[in-house]
Amino acid sequence: MKLVVAGALGHIGSAVIRQVPLELGITEIVMIDNMMTQRYCSLFNLPEGVKYRFIEADLLNIDLQSVFSDADIVIQLAAITDAAGSFANKKQVEHNNYNTTVKVAEACSKAGCRMVHLSSTSVYGTQKEIVDENCSPQELCPQSPYAETKLKEEQFLQQLGVSENLDFITFRFGTICGVSPGMRFHTAVNKFCWQAVMAQPITVWRTALNQKRPYLDLDDAVEAIRFVIERNLFDKRIYNVLTENLTVHSIVEDIRKYIPQIDIKYVDSEIMNQLSYNVSDQRFRSMGFTPQGSISEKIRETIDLLKGCTGGRCKI
């Protein structure tokens, strides 16, 4: 089986290219990344027994159909992912994320390969207490340009799935946390761990401390992708995937277990009007998937990594 991973060197991609082939017997992986974030280390020490090929390119500027011509599955992870930062570069996020997904999907359709599309639970901005994939367009109220673009991608794929019979699946992932070679520190859990270890105040949006949001253990994210590939579950549907719904307060308290002296600095953000809600992942669980991860454990692993030792014994 040949797998193509677009955005292969990022937080999720760098874990996927290592774990998925070992578990599924994939013999060849083509990795595409534009190196915008210069995560060269994601290419270091790749597993033996798999043929890897790396293409450094902007997906919008290469002939994807030829790259996909003999591929079985394409995983589309390429995106600018900073939701809060997307207010300052709305046009770039729209151009890059949406157009890239459109081009990948159209190339998959022409090449006859299946597609894993990554969306986000940030498309939810409703005032409902519990949200799921059955929320109507009127109930979906994305709160950032990033989330608006993800919803637009979803709608395009739904149309292409009908008009061109593209076989795909869309994941709405919760906020990722966990250690990988390509991890960054701009999203909630990773950012908080970095700030705490570096003795910086944890910067929390003023209204967010007690709001619930969905978080996803990186291992659960990779396992969800593996689960779909193994079962050939490309049914053109949308699935929420998360490990736990948690408040920022509970995340901070988990960090406090390992770094007792924490200061919190409240900051304003343009993403300020979301109410607290729980995201339901019952649809994906009903397919036989059960998350096994732990956000608390991923916090511990991240703090240990940042401290440069195990067991949380080092002092910075």
Chunked in runs of 10, what are the mean pLDDT values of the chain (316 residues)? 96 96 87 91 93 95 94 92 52 80 96 96 82 87 84 95 95 96 90 94 81 94 97 97 95 94 80 70 98 97 84 48
pLDDT tens across 81-120, in order? 554 544 455 666 777 789 999 999 999 999 999 999 999 9
Q: Which residues, including other chains, have CB under 8 Å from residue 145's CB and lie 6 or more apart?
A: 86, 87, 90, 93, 94
pLDDT tens across 156-206, in order? 999 999 999 899 999 999 999 999 999 989 888 999 999 999 999 998 877
Cβ distance 260 to 129 under 8 Å?
no
In angstroms, what CA-CA distances link 250 with 104, 158, 212, 216, 311?
Answer: 38, 36, 10, 15, 21
Quote the tokens at residue 78. Answer: 């390429």
Cα 151 to Cα 157: distance, rounded to the nearest angstrom: 10
pLDDT (0 to 100) of residue 316? 43
pLDDT (0 to 100) of residue 215? 96
pLDDT (0 to 100) of residue 310? 45
Residue 216: closest CA among 11, 5, 42: 11
Domain topology for 2-176+215-241 = Rossmann fold (3.40.50)
In angstroms, what CA-CA distances link 55 with 35, 66, 156, 209?
Answer: 10, 13, 26, 41
Cα 15 to Cα 18: distance, rounded to the nearest angstrom: 5
Could you tell me the sign of the dihedral formed by the alpha carbons of 226, 229, 235, 236, in that order? positive
In angstroms, what CA-CA distances link 265 with 200, 206, 304?
Answer: 9, 9, 23
Strand-pair category, 212-217 with 175-177? parallel
**DSSP annotation of 134:** T
